[in-house]
Structure 1
Amino acid sequence: MTDPRVPRLLEAMRSVGTGLEPDATLERICRTAAELAGARYAALRVLDEEGGGGVSASVTYSVPDGVPDGSPPAHPPTRSFVRAPVRVQGEAFGTLYLAGKRGGGEFSTSDLRMVRVLAAEAGIAIGNARLYEAARRRERWIDGSVAVTTALLSGGDTDDALTVVAEQARRLAEAAAGVVLLPADEGLEIVAVDSDDPEAGKALGVVVPRASPVVERLLAGEAVYVGDAAGDPRMREVNAALARPYGPGMLLPLWSGGRVLGALAIPRAPGARPFTGAERALAARFASQAALALMVAEAQRDREQLAVYEDRDRIARDLHDLVIQRLFATGMTLESVQRGSAVPAVRDGVAKAVEELDTTIQEVRTAVFALQQGPGEAPAGLGTRVLREINMAAVPLGFKPSYRFVGPVDAAVGELTGKNLVAALREALSNAFRHARARRIEVVVDATARLADGTEGVRLTVADDGVGVPEGGRRSGLRNLARRAESLGGSSRLEPGLGAGGAGTTVVWEAPL
């Protein structure tokens, strides 16, 4: 004889299969099972997805006059009690419990069959709900990755972009905090924090030491998953850096192109559930996407910076090849006018104008050096600066002076002494061009020289084969050389040059190291 409740069973199966929200589906299964079997109480225990045998959730239902809501007791208070396993795609999902047959008595075999049929249908409905929830979760993580990529590639402030990474990671993982750490000399430095805790911002700038086990693994490109941070020694340094305890967490390397660009920490509150395998996989992909976006943003900034440097080099070349040459030519014209004038006032005025031009040329050269050096670079070594002066002097001279370095020029000569030595070299080369009409110039920088008093020093020698220092000519440049040397405790002098019979001039400038 057909059970008169079959139509109700079919209707119940249809009801269970409607809707795709996981929590609502579980509640509907409990209510439908209780109504169909005439039970006062129904419960569905959901197994831990990680397969550890634990219970991740319990959903209960009771009729208004039934037993109160609560976890299903280990020993039901009534004699009538049935249970049926719920399987999702062949795997155990949980157990459906019914207790307290309304009207008294025991659950019948027919009740048990209907509950089992309903449990099978529930497995299908739960499977669909799980697929739907997984798709929604993946979509959220993808949207979060897009937001991070957009923020990092927008060309805005890097700190703001890293804060977006922390915000999205925290929101998507339903965590208590999102933390971005970047490599520092001592370990990993906290550079962005997103949390409801107003005190969390104090962690910015704190460094988790490199010796920490978790930092060692992150810098090696390994992810760290913590089930209970309170009892896990790997999280002690992280919790200490954040100045508060956290519960289960994920620590993921920002790894791309064989490089660890940083790390992402996503801890939950104490006592919260651990992250599931699916959540770990999604978070790992999010971290990989964020790392790739970081690398692309870094490459983009490098390209922009390179474009700026190329433009600066072009400006420096124009200043060097055009402006300085014109200033030199103007200076030579004025000196010709000075020599041809019989009026003392005119000669003095022209001489003053020539000195102003010399000063302007030095200032333009300084600007050229600044343009050729990046803003974040350390000052170039002394050897490099000497070569720059020689190369720049080659244009007006029409040939490149020869040069030689003796001893550890860059390491031995201090910054102040080196700065004055370069200025002395510039003055000596300028004099050789404007007055000496030299065809050969030799420059020597000796960092192993012994000064007249026996102390260690650096000696600059600029020798030419020109006409020498003319009698009655201006000597302001030579006085500048002497003043620079004397201010450092050194000296400056003139010696015979490279020409036949000592023709020409050799400028010797020296100062203590």
Structure 2
Amino acid sequence: MTEEPDDAEFGVDPRTPRLPMLLEAVLSVGTDLELRATLQQIIDTASALTDARYGALGVLDPERGTIRELFVSGLSRAGREAIGDLPDGHTGMLGALIEEAQPLRSDDLTRDPHSGGVPPHHPEMHSFLGAPIRVDGKVFGNIYLTENRTGHFSDTDMALLRALASQAGIAIGNARLYETARRRERWIEGAAAVTNTLLTGKSAADALTTVAERARLLSNASAGVILQPDAEGGMEIVAASTPDDPAGLVGTAIAPGSPVLVQLLGGEAVFIEDSATDPRMTTHVRSRFGPSMMLPLQSGGRLIGTLALPRRRGALPYTAADRLLASQFASQAALALVLADAQHDREQLAVYEDRDRIARDLHDLVVQRLFATEMMLESTRRRAGPGETDELLGRAVDELDSTIQEVRTAIFALQQPPAEAPTTFRGQVLRETRGAAAVLGFQPSVHFTGAVDALVREPVGGRLLAALRGALAAAHRRTGVSSIEVEVDVTAALPDGRAAVRLAVADDGREQDGSRLPGVIWQAPL
């Protein structure tokens, strides 16, 4: 249990009429576990306890020895904004208090050798009283009080301030522990939410954006971006999350030769004090940002990319705790991305295996039975001799042959990756017809003759696909078209005898007089 400060230790006379005020202040300070509220309460209480017109509590940056935040009392919002930037903490009475880490008092700042003057628009100040606040034996910050109502601060004021600073250290320590626990909890919850979201089957681009957005919110950054290595040897922003339009960020690249690039590609974390002025930063968007963290997304030795979390210019720098929590989040997010990618691969493999099974069933059962039926009908037609029965059987054989070709086409379509662009020419033709089916309202019939994939090469393939698209579009513009037949034949020949590929597109549309419309025929030498 923490012991209450002994009044005699600080030189406070128990008979002083302000002792009840001190006791009340000691009891009230730290009733709120939220750190910023606690700090504001401390400086308000210190000003009232010592009858000071103005008060400030400067939180020190332990890494830089400067004032990181300033909580004030007695100044309006407009007055604070008029003063401008925070003092650097290296000069004047503030610097002396930071350097000596002992209580300081002055009756006239204008004549004190420690004083370095005040900035423009700052209220006029004469009397001064300051004391450090220690948390766990280290100086956390300092209390600055000026303009005592009586014109100077007394020994009693200093004793009261020392007593309050001692109790404030305990309250700040508790609030800081609570804030650290809450921040760690939020980061853990964020990492868990990212993992759950990624494992629900988001696309790769959406997954990266999810990581960037959640990290931006947790770190209170101005933007969250994901960089990945590009073909030129640099790194490019492939996903971004900002309160504004992220279009100006996506596509921004760190060119090869940039000083920071070696660290990023090597999977090292990079911490920037000011992106706009750091010579390692070379992108055109750096002028928009200040403090920044660039954290590797890597798992099992695999570098997925870099998570960058820049804050706006003039924002608070990242603390050591911020860096640690964000680095842990990046490691967890990288693992989630790897797991999501592996899960996507497993699902795709399952789809491919299922499609292969369907294709095998069609080939082994349906095609073979149709082929056997065709052979029986052909044999029957030959025995039946000429006549009407022969003609009917001939048409039945032709229909079965056409059906076999269409089933084989369906088998090939099943063997194509469902979500990827086909790499074979046959697959590209089928993709064009499937795309047209969504507009036409029916699926065009497609037949291939010969080794299409082996013989059709660029630029002939590109011209043939363009001709196919044009023919399908023309058929869509006509009325009364309910079926389209597409044939690609690589066994055709030009009049001069050269081998050629022949594209024929025919539909059931009719002229106004009822006659059949001529089909589209396109051919080119192989």
Do they superpose with TM above 0.5? yes
Task: Choose which of 87, 112, 116 in structure 1 pairs with 2:162.
Answer: 116
- Counterpart mapping for 1:277-296 below 5 A: 277-296=320-339
After TM superposition, list the pairs within 5 Å mapping 1:427-442 onto structure 2.
none
Matched-pair contact (CA < 8 Å) for 2:222–2:243: yes
CA RMSD of aligned residues (A): 3.8
Q: Which amino acid aligns with 2:498?
A: G
Which of 404, 419, 426 lines up with 1:361 in the alignment? 404
| Matched residue, 1:197 | 244
CA separation of 1:483 and 1:74: change in aligned 2, threshold 3 A? closer
Aligned counterparts, 1:365-384, within 5 A: 365-375=408-418, 376=420, 379=423
CA 1:346–1:113 in 2, change beyond 3 Å: closer, same or farther?
A: same
Paired residues for 1:171-190 under 5 Å: 171-186=217-232, 187-190=234-237
CA contact (8 A) 1:82 1:107 kept: no
Q: Distance in 1 between matches of 2:495 and 2:170?
A: 94
Letter in 2 for 1:107: S
Matched to 1:483, the amino acid is: A
Task: Between 317-326 and 154-163, report the one with greater CA deviation.
Answer: 154-163
Q: Evaluate the alpha carbon distance shift between residue 339 and residue 62 of structure 1 in structure 2; reply closer, same or farther with a 3 A threshold.
A: closer
Distance in 1 (CA, whole Å) between partners of 2:310 and 2:336 is 23
Q: Is the 8 A contact 2:294 2:307 kept in 1?
A: yes
Q: Is the 8 A contact 2:224 2:310 kept in 1?
A: yes
Q: Which TM-score applies when normalising by structure 2?
A: 0.66
Q: 1:247 is paired with a residue of what secondary structure?
A: strand
Query: Which whole-Å CA distance do the structure 2 matches of 1:483 and 1:412 have between them?
Result: 15
Asked if 1:325 is matched to 2:368, the reply is: yes
Q: Distance in 2 between matches of 1:47 and 1:481?
A: 80
Instruction: Report SS of the residue matched to 1:248.
Output: strand
**Distance in 1 (alpha carbons) for counterparts of 2:312 and 2:497:** 64
> Quick check: 2:130–2:143 contact (8 Å CA) kept in 1?
yes
1:58 to 66, 70, 80: 70
Give the drift of 1:138: 2.0
Structure 2 SS opposite 1:279: helix
- What's the secondary structure of 2:92's corresponding residue? coil
- Report the CA distance between 1:272 and its aligned residue: 1.8
SS at match of 2:290: coil
Work out which of the residue numbers 219, 225, 235 in structure 1 matches 2:265. 219
Deviates more, 1:410-419 or 1:179-188: 410-419
Find the counterpart in structure 1 of residue 211 from structure 2.
165
In structure 1, the partner of 2:178 is 132
- CA gap of 1:481–1:309, structure 2 versus 1, over 3 A, is closer
CA shift digits 1:211-242 (9 cap, x unpaired) = 544444333222221111111233222627xx
Deviations 1:286-338 (A, max 9, x none): 22222222222222222221221111011101101101110121122122213
The residue that corresponds to 2:187 in the other structure is 141
Judging changes above 3 Å, is the alpha-carbon distance between structure 1 residues 156 and 45 closer, same or farther for their aligned structure 2 residues? closer
SS in 2 for 1:272: coil
8 Å Cα contact 2:253/2:283 also seen in 1: no
Counterpart check, 1:43 vs 2:56: yes
Q: CA deviation at 1:123?
A: 0.9
Aligned to 1:98: 145
- Paired residues of 1:80 and 1:101 also in contact (CA < 8 A): yes
Q: Does 1:299 align with 2:308?
A: no
Alignment-derived partner of residue 290 in structure 2: 247
Task: Report Cα offsets for 1:336-388 as digits up to 9, x if no partner.
Answer: 21332232554454344434433332332232222223242654699xxxxxx
Determine which structure has the larger helix proportion and give its number: 1
**Equivalent pair of 2:212/2:225 in contact (CA under 8 Å):** yes
Residue 308 of structure 1, aligned match among 338, 341, 351: 351
Q: 1:113 to 1:410 in 2, by over 3 A?
A: farther
For residue 149 of structure 1, report the CA deviation from its aligned partner.
Answer: 2.6
Kept after mapping to 1: 8 A contact 2:258/2:282: no
> Residue 248 of structure 1 aligns to which amino acid in structure 2?
P
In 1, Cα distance between equivalents of 2:183 and 2:162: 31
Give per-residue Cα distances to partners, 1:399-437, cap 9 Å, x unaligned: xxxxxxxxxx99996548999xxxxxxxxxxxxxxxxxx
CA distance 1:225–1:160, shift in 2 (3 Å): same
SS at match of 1:262: strand
The structure-2 alpha-carbon separation of the partners of 1:245 and 1:236, relative to structure 1 and needing over 3 Å to count, comes to farther
Q: Distance in 2 between matches of 1:79 and 1:483?
A: 103
Residue 232 (structure 1) aligned with residue 278 (structure 2): yes
CA contact (8 A) 1:229 1:246 kept: yes
Out of 85, 92, 102, the residue aligned to residue 132 of structure 2 is 85
Write the letter of the residue equivalent to 1:313: D
What secondary structure, in the 3-state scheme, does the structure 2 residue paired with 1:237 have?
coil
Report if aligned partners of 2:299, 2:334 keep a CA contact under 8 Å in 1: yes
Q: Decide whether aligned partners of structure 1 residues 62 and 329 sit closer, same or farther in structure 2, where only a CA change above 3 A counts.
A: closer
Post-superposition CA distance 1:236-284 (Å, at most 9, x none) = 22627xxx62222122222223222232221111222221111112222
- Determine the structure 1 residue equivalent to 2:433: none
CA contact (8 A) 1:253 1:264 kept: yes
Question: 1:444 corresponds to which residue?
Answer: none
Matched, 1:107 2:158: no
What does 1:408-419 align with in structure 2 at a 5 Å threshold? 415=457
Query: CA offsets, 1:432-482, max 9 Å, x none?
Result: xxxxxxxxxxxxxxxxxxxxxxxxxxxxxxxxxxxxxxxxxxxxxxxx996
SS at match of 2:57: strand
